[in-house]
A and B are shown apart, each in its own frame.
Chain A
Amino acid sequence: AQSVTQLDSQVPVFEEAPVELRCNYSSSVSVYLFWYVQYPNQGLQLLLKYLSGSTLVKGINGFEAEFNKSQTSFHLRKPSVHISDTAEYFCAVSGLTGGGNKLTFGTGTQLKVEL
């Protein structure tokens, strides 16, 4: 079984400031890791994913995340946020084997960018 913990339900930040959204996971097997973003009144959109290789993953809109196996973390970062980054962010994991890409999501972090 897998689980995902997003410790921060809300993160307020000023425009052009850096931000880090935290994600920790628990799994008895190796996993793939994902970050999805949900803008108001829109569907979930993939920001980035870690499958293998370099532990630093770059995604769309200037976001990046670092996979840390020893700390079972996959924190999302952006060096300078914009008002348009205001959205709900979900961390998710899936197993490496088995049928399909069944995702287990965290509870989400609401990022609110203020002027």
Chain B
Amino acid sequence: GAGVSQTPSNKVTEKGKYVELRCDPISGHTALYWYRQSLGQGPEFLIYFQGTGAADDSGLPNDRFFAVRPEGSVSTLKIQRTERGDSAVYLCASSPTGGPGTEAFFGQGTRLTVV
């Protein structure tokens, strides 16, 4: 596809369960970002990948959150022992390069609801 694709679009899970959220960036984009958007808030940075490596994971809230990008393309955000406070829209974005000022192209997000 032409844009950033995120699956699933919606995910409902029970408190304490494990979830995986997937992001397919635009082909050829080396930079990939994860953000979290809570209700009534702007997106908050979670983690940035340049290629396969996590160049900046300073936004991950705690060690229950982990993300990988093993082949430098698709990325998976993993959340262990989910809590109700994890409910939010998780956004993925990609850029052609990781340079400051470059445009980030966003996916439509995955809405995670923890019940």
Q: Which residues of A contact B (CB under 8 A)?
A: 4, 6, 32, 36, 41-46, 49, 51, 90, 92, 94-108
Contacts and interface: CB of A to CB of B under 8 A. Distances in A.
Contact of A103 (B3, B43, B109): B43
The 3 closest A-B pairs by CB, nearest first: A105-B42, A44-B106, A43-B106
A43 B101 contact: no
A111 B7 CA distance: 28
In terms of DSSP, what is the predominant structure of the interface of chain B? loop
Contacts of B45: 102-104
Contacts of B35: 103
Contact of B48 (A4, A46, A96, A99): A99
Nearest to B3: A43
B41 A107 contact: yes
Contact of B43 (A44, A97, A99): A44
Contacts of A44: 43, 91, 93, 106
Contacts, number: 78
A22 to B, nearest CB: 14
Interface residues of B, number: 31
A109 to B, nearest CB: 10
A51 B101 contact: yes
Contact of A102 (B3, B42, B56, B105): B56
B14 to A, nearest CB: 26
Nearest to B42: A105
Contacts of B59: 102
Contact of B55 (A45, A92, A99): A99
Interface string B90-106: 01010100111111111
Contacts of B48: 99-100, 102
Contacts of A90: 42-43
Contacts of B42: 4, 6, 90, 92, 105-108
